[in-house]
Amino acid sequence: MSDSIVIMGVAGCGKSSLGRAVAQLTGLRLIEGDDHHSAESLAKMSQGIALTDADREGWLGRLCTELQAHSGGLVLTCSALKRSYRERLRQAAPGLRFVYLEISRAESQVRVQARAATHFFSTSLVDSQFAALEPPTGEAGVLRVDARAPISQLQAEVTAWLGTKERA
């Protein structure tokens, strides 16, 4: 059983912020999914070109390798927009859990715009994120949280959930 979790959701939902907070509190290593994109994919996204499943193939493979290399557990930030992506990550780390940061399209757009000067992700891609999103409804091992809540509250929710035996 994996002690790893994926902090997932669309751009601007707060994956990195929550991932840092949870990793700090749990002592687990933090792996930023964005750090594992290829140079080509980063260039595409910065130009407002949405990634395809083929573009994400190598990225998902690198994330799976990270999960396997850290069998003691880690916190991984990863959009994990499609169920097939989540299933691939689960194959690499059986028992893997996901924290889904739910956010509206409008709020995501505002947040992505606010960080435009310092982040590679183009604001024009928010719609493509929502178009690709397959929410993890009905999937086991998923905690759904409101991305608008304060990080301290989200951190408390996640760490409480991690400590329970039932991780629905």
Picking from 60, 104, 65, the residue whose alpha carbon sits closest to that of residue 86 is: 60
Pairing of strands 5-8, 142-146: unpaired
Element (H, E) at 146: strand 142-146
pTM as predicted: 0.86
Q: Kindly give the confidence (pLDDT) of every residue in the chain, 168 residues in length, as a single tens digit, with 9 standing for 90 and above.
A: 458 999 999 888 889 999 999 999 999 999 998 888 778 877 887 777 877 888 889 889 999 999 999 988 999 999 999 999 999 999 999 999 999 999 988 887 776 776 555 555 566 677 888 888 999 999 999 999 999 999 999 999 999 999 865 444
In CATH, what is the architecture of 5-162?
3-Layer(aba) Sandwich (3.40)
Whether residue 61 contacts residue 38, with contact meaning beta carbons closer than 8 Å, is answered with no
